[in-house]
Amino acid sequence: MKISLKDNRGVPVSTTNLKSLERLEQACDLMNGYFNDPFALIDEALAEDPGFVMGHCFRAAFMATATDKTFLPEVRKSVEAAEALAGKANDRERGHIAGARAWLESDYDRVAEHYQRVLIGHPRDLMALQLAHLRDFLTGQAMMLRDRPARTLHAWDESVPGYNYVLGMQAFGLEESGDYARAEERGRQAVALQPRDSWAVHAVAHVLEMQNRTAEGIDWINKGSDYWSGDNGFAYHNWWHLSLFHLDRGNTAEVLALYDRLIRNTASTMPMELIDAAALLWRLHLMGVGVGQRWKEVADKYEATVEDGHYAFNDFHAMMAFAADGRTAASERLLATLARRAGATDWNGVATRTVGLPLCQAIDAFAKGRYAQAVEILLQVRPVAYRFGGSHAQRDILSLTLIEAALRGGQGRVAQAIAGERTELKPLSGVNRLLAQRAAGLAKAA
């Protein structure tokens, strides 16, 4: 007689191998907390049971969320293995198989559709929720970052393993939707339940960043870091948030020390880690802070992906590295790649056409001293830039670049307007105060 197993949240699984299921549970917990190495556990689970459908689905989808084109052959291998097992899968698992196929094809709309169907039937499917949440982040869907976890909360409470992760996801969505009070409440609740929840820690850091509570932000990241920083694949991003707090306080030496010691302390080629490196160095670049040879290392890594055109948000940060390091040939190759990708009808093609390509053109113009062109593009694209993903804190680099381009190009009134907009949101920001003063002086002299 066939044994029907369920995971520790009561979600049905078609495997009859308890050891494989236990390893999947452990891998999911590592994935939810962004700890290393969930793939090793999944490989063990599949060695125990090569027909373990959810093992193949996990491996495919989580690898796809890295937005790294070099992973696609392995993603395809796992998707095809899962599809070959669809006949023995249950309905929930077939939804995961379809979701994995959509990830492989970079069809982020279908990714959302498939996981949403799974979650309607199985609101405690934490793997589906995590993957859908990452999809919503990669596509800049603030409302869904907030609402997708909320749709499942009726089935959760503190007695259900992983409840903190649902709260942490909702906290980030609330922050991205501007509900800072509830975001902070939910994020702190999640961390109180599980101090190792690096995503919830990050959600609260976002609130403190958006409200310019820099002293609290520094304390928040530092005081809990012993719980989440060890062997964690997301720690670099929380350290990045710490650097933003220091940057606003003018502690540029500390920012560079954090960069070297904790943010870029390995030669990783992972796209999300390169994004944080480029974004931080570009902020320093705009402020006129020398960074030595740090750009070279980042630009070298991006050179290997210059013709991928796999995810527009990655490409934008690659362009910053090329522009700052004076790599004209690499910039031209990337622009040519994006011009080709902009003709595609898939999600990334649309994101490249409407956001990624013009923003890369703006960065290229900025680097070449064509500040008026950079200002014109940034004014047009900035309001719709959410379409290529990232958070408000990450996309803030567009405002900073726009203000600096306007200042360097003699457009004092534009600089004053955008600096005023930014100051209204963060009236106590040291960076905003300096930018507003420079803009006001230039506008007055005009």
Q: What is the mean pLDDT of residues 33-38?
A: 94
Distance CA 228, CA 432 (A): 31
pLDDT in tens, 68-113: 999 999 999 999 999 999 999 999 999 999 999 999 999 999 999 9
pLDDT confidence of residue 117 = 97
**62 lies in a domain?**
no
Structure confidence at residue 27 as a pLDDT band (50, 70, 90)? very high
- Percent of the chain exceeding pLDDT 70 equals 99
The residue-averaged pLDDT of 15-43 equals 94
- CA-based diameter of the chain, in Å? 85
Tokens of 363: 């960065």
Q: Does residue 442 lie within any of the structural domains?
A: no
Please give the Cα distance from 308 to 61 (Å, whole number).
20
Q: What is the three-class DSSP state of 211?
A: coil
Q: Is residue 404 part of a domain?
A: yes
| pLDDT higher than threshold 60 for residue 124 | yes
User: By residue range, what is the domain housing residue 386?
Assistant: 264-409
What is the per-residue pLDDT across 326-354, written as a single tens digit (0 to 9) for each? 999 999 999 999 999 999 999 999 999 99
Q: Mean per-residue pLDDT for 174-190?
A: 98
Q: Is residue 95 part of a domain?
A: no
Please state the domain count of the chain: 1
Does some domain include residue 340? Answer: yes
- Hey, is 1 helix, strand or coil? coil
Residue 4 has pLDDT above 70, yes or no: no
Whether 302 is in a domain gets the answer yes
Q: Which pLDDT score is estimated for 1?
A: 39
Contact in structure between 125 and 118 (CB atoms under 8 Å): yes
Does residue 292 fall inside a structural domain?
Answer: yes
Question: In this structure, is residue 361 part of a structural domain?
Answer: yes
pTM: 0.96
Name the one residue in this structure whose structure tokens are 């013009």: 358
Cβ-Cβ contacts under 8 Å for 224 (sequence gap 6 or more):
191, 195, 201
Between the CA of residue 339 and those of 275, 383, 387, 430, what are the distances in Å?
21, 21, 17, 38
- Per-residue pLDDT at 3: 56
- Per-residue pLDDT band at 445 (split at 50, 70, 90): confident
Average pLDDT, the chain: 96
